[in-house]
Amino acid sequence: MQAVHNIAEICARHGITDVVLSPGSRCAPLTIAFARHPEIKVRTVPDERAAAFIGLGLAQAQKRAVALVCTSGTAGLNYAPAVAEAYFQQIPLVVFTADRPPEWIDQLDGQTIRQADLYGAHAKGSFQFPADTSHPDALWHSARLVSEAIGLAEQFPAGPVQVNVPLREPFYPKPGEELQFTAVKVAREVPGRPQLPEPVLRELQDALRSTTRVLVVAGQHPADTDLLLALRRFAAVWQVPVVGDVIANLHLPAAPDYDQRLRPLGRHDVFLAVPEPGLKEALKPELLITFGQSLISKALKLYLRNAKPAQHWHIQPSGAVADTFQSLTKVLRVEPVDFFTAMMAEEPAPTAPTAGVPGMLVAPPDATRVAPAPHPVGPARLTWPAPGGQLTEAEAQTKAAYLKPWLAAENWASRFLPDFLAQPNPPFNEFLAIYQALQGLPDGTALHLANSMAVRYANILGLPAGRTVEVFANRGTSGIDGCTSTAVGAALAQPHRPVVLLTGDVAFFYDRNAFWHNYPVPNLRVILLNNHAGGIFRLIDGPRQQPELEEFFETRQPLTAANTARDFNLRYLTADTFTKLESVLPVFFAPEHGATLLEITTDSKTNAEFFEQYRAAVRTSFS
């Protein structure tokens, strides 16, 4: 078993500090090796599906690989949803699946399935650990392939890999026998950083200069201050609108003092629903620049597919690239932060500061103001270049003419939403309840958005301006199956940071085993929207017009979360009116109360009616 025990040492040498395993007999040698390794923290989660998503949440929060360990048979199949999510969200997982020896596959032995390449196209790679490591070459081979697997998992684009480990009995060391973690040779990946050649940079700058209507769209992306600063400076220099869903994390403050008028735009789900042909034509880009992963906004995806820009550049250092908008013309193999920084290689000309805010510069003089600039105490820490250097005055004015309708639409949506939500005596509904809850998020929160309506509502409503709230969502596959477990993993990874999960009832009850373990998560807060149905089907065209809606699409259920909270020792709060919600939110977010579940109970039909009022108001209120 020395080669198997060496797996734990190799993982530790590669910087893997966290392992999530599910109990089993066939995986006992792996379990014991990881449990006894002094540099590795092991957590046991009985349900493999929840365990894998908890591992995903740990890796997502820590930005490094996490190992999973399970026994043979269908245990590994239960990892599949999380493995697929990790693949499409580019999160490194190293999955160790214990297996029967190869001679016993398909011989009707218990807990035996065909485990080689178990995850197929949804893993970056699959490795078969040798069944016999008695020969020195086999011992060398076993160590080498584990290093290769970890390197592949972490290599951009990161993702999951499987190491299938066939094991023969005996599995357990003799009483008193100590494991030896011997010195093991490991091969590490040393990542490089691709750079665009100088002639290519000049060509791209010339294209930017000569193209009037340039739009930047960000897909899902982790919070990255350097990228955010480069992107905002790029937008100011080139007079380019930048658009991103809430999961792109462009809403975060770029620095303690920054000009809100230059922040990226995030209200597109509101204003793109306006049936105004003139607006759609005014927003149409000639050059689309994208980076990041998936979009939440169906309205933005459909608009860009119909708008069909003449050029579409996607920025991604390596890996397969999706042609989401059916217009891709160029793939730039570079990090997004390096691209946006390189596009400003020339020194921009000095410009006058904004009146009243020393050192800060305005957006185009004729552009609509998105939000009032903050009033920093002391000297401003950020200065923003106005167009210059790259652009002549005439070019800047032409580009500002394209920027103006984007800012105007954003400004209208930013006024419209609070005005609509402030209507007198509305019925209690989840749209308004979510808005109220989001306003109370503590600074520094990691906000996890479950799939279905929770992530869509948040994308429409946005987050409080200037608040440092990093957003996460399982939008790789957009499934509901592990949203709670992922948030639990994030809470375990960052015990001193508030982690808030916003989820619906179907996603929550589907993933109750996220709490079935023995590890406290006092920093976790769960906001559960319980309308006792799959309420999304009342909000989308198609199912809501069908007579089978209630029985076969909504799948109505009478459950409440009270028993779940009691079973797993979560503080339990409820609200079914705006008054109750307002009174419980301060208690809910208070750090001293430990893991807390807030169940907000609403009526599915009322939610649908109010949301239809919102959509009708969007269609008629734009001016």
d(CA 589, CA 439): 11
Quick: pLDDT tens for 238-254: 989 999 999 999 998 76
What pLDDT is stored for residue 357 in this prediction?
30
CA-CA distance, 346 to 162, in Å (whole number)? 47
pLDDT digits (tens, 9 = 90+) for 194-242: 899 999 999 999 999 999 999 999 999 999 999 998 998 899 889 899 9
Within this chain, do residues 460 and 588 fall inside the same structural domain, yes or no? yes
Calculate mean pLDDT across residues 386-410.
82
**pLDDT for the residue numbered 395:** 85
Residues 121, 372: Cα–Cα separation, whole Å: 49
Helix (H, G, I), strand (E, B) or coil at 269: helix
Across 466-470, 593-597, 614-618, least confident range: 466-470
In a domain, 109, yes or no: yes
Cβ atoms of residues 522 and 494 within 8 Å:
no
**Number of structural domains, the chain?**
3
Mean per-residue pLDDT for 431-457? 95
Q: Is residue 132 part of a domain?
A: yes
Mean pLDDT for all residues in the chain? 87
- What SS3 class is residue 330? strand
Q: What confidence tens digit (pLDDT) does each residue in 308-328 have? A: 999 999 999 999 999 999 999
Please report the pLDDT score of residue 592 as a whole number. 85
Same domain? For 307 and 429 the reply is: no
C-beta separation of 315 from 339 below 8 A: yes
Mean pLDDT of the 383-404 span: 74
pLDDT at res. 554 = 64
Q: How confident is the model at residue 389 (pLDDT cuts 50, 70, 90)?
A: low
* DSSP result, 335-357: -HHHHHHHTT-SPPPP-PPPTTS
In a domain, 33, yes or no: yes
Q: Is there a contact between 503 and 526 (Cβ–Cβ < 8 Å)?
A: yes
d(CA 56, CA 84): 11
Q: Domain end: 143, 166, 189, which one?
A: 166
| DSSP one-letter code for 477 | T
pLDDT of 139: 86
CATH, residue 324: 3.40.50.1220
Amino acid letter for position 445: T
Distance, CA of 591 to CA of 526 (rounded, Å) = 13
pLDDT on residue 104: 75
Joined together, the tokens standing for residue 482 give 């592990």
Is the pLDDT reported for residue 155 higher than 60?
yes
Q: Which of 20, 34, 130 is nearest to 79 (CA)?
A: 20
Per-residue tokens: 408: 């105007």
| Whole-number pLDDT of residue 613 | 94
Q: Taking residues 141-160, what's their average pLDDT?
A: 94
Q: Give residue 134's domain range.
A: 1-166
Q: For residue 279, report the phi and psi dihedrals to the nearest 5 degrees.
A: -65, -45
The CATH number for 451's domain is 3.40.50.970
Q: Are residues 607 and 556 in the same domain?
A: yes
Largest CA distance in the chain: 83
Looking at the predicted structure, is the pLDDT value of residue 407 above 60? yes
Residue 584 within a domain: yes
Beta bridge partners of 470: 446
435, 611 Cβ separation under 8 angstroms:
no
Task: Decide if pLDDT at 171 tops 90.
Answer: no
Same domain for 147 and 219? no
And the tokens for 201?
Answer: 């940079």
| 271 occurs within a structural domain | yes
Query: For residue 263, is pLDDT > 80?
Result: no
Residue range 15-44: mean pLDDT, rounded: 94
539, 522, 513, 541: which is closest to 597 by C-alpha?
522
- The predicted structure's pLDDT at residue 352: 36
Return the amino acid letter for 418.
Answer: P
What is the pLDDT, as a whole number, of residue 581?
Answer: 97
Looking at the fold, whether 206 and 118 belong to one and the same domain comes out as: no
Question: Does 416 fall in a domain?
Answer: no
Residue 350 domain-assigned (yes or no): no
Task: For residues 439 and 546, give the distance between their C-alpha atoms in angstroms, rounded to a whole number.
Answer: 36
- 170 burial via Cβ count (<10 Å: 0-12, 13-18, 19+): exposed
Q: What's phi and psi for 83, nearest 5 deg?
A: -60, -45
pTM above 0.75, yes or no: yes
pLDDT at 159 over 80: yes
Cβ neighbours of residue 622 under 8 Å, at least 6 residues apart? Answer: 271, 274, 276, 279, 412, 416
579 and 462, same domain (yes or no): yes
Alpha carbon distance 221, 501 (integer Å): 18
- Listed in sequence order, the residues at least 6 apart from 589 whose beta carbon sits closer than 8 Å to its beta carbon are 440, 441, 442, 498, 525
Is residue 606 assigned to a domain?
yes
Task: Enter the tokens of residue 172.
Answer: 């357990």
Give the pLDDT band (50/70/90) at residue 538. low
Does one domain contain both 397 and 439?
Answer: no
Specify whether 154 is located in the same domain as 107.
Answer: yes
Whether the per-residue pLDDT at 579 is higher than 60: the answer is yes
Q: How confident is the model at residue 570 (pLDDT cuts 50, 70, 90)?
A: very high
Residue 354 has pLDDT above 50, yes or no: no
Same domain (yes/no): 41, 104: yes
Please, are residues 67 and 96 in contact by the beta-carbon 8 Å criterion? yes
In order of 164, 510, 518, the CA distances from 70 in angstroms are 10, 21, 18
In tens, the pLDDT along 323-349 reads 999 999 999 999 999 999 999 875 433
Could you tell me the pLDDT band of residue 258, with boundaries at 50, 70 and 90? low
**In this predicted model, which residue has the larger pLDDT, 265 or 133?**
265
Looking at the chain, the whole-number percentage of residues with pLDDT higher than 70 is: 88
Answer yes or no: are the C-beta atoms of 27 and 7 closer than 8 Å: no
pLDDT of residue 321: 95
Task: Tell me: do 546 and 451 sit in the same domain.
Answer: yes
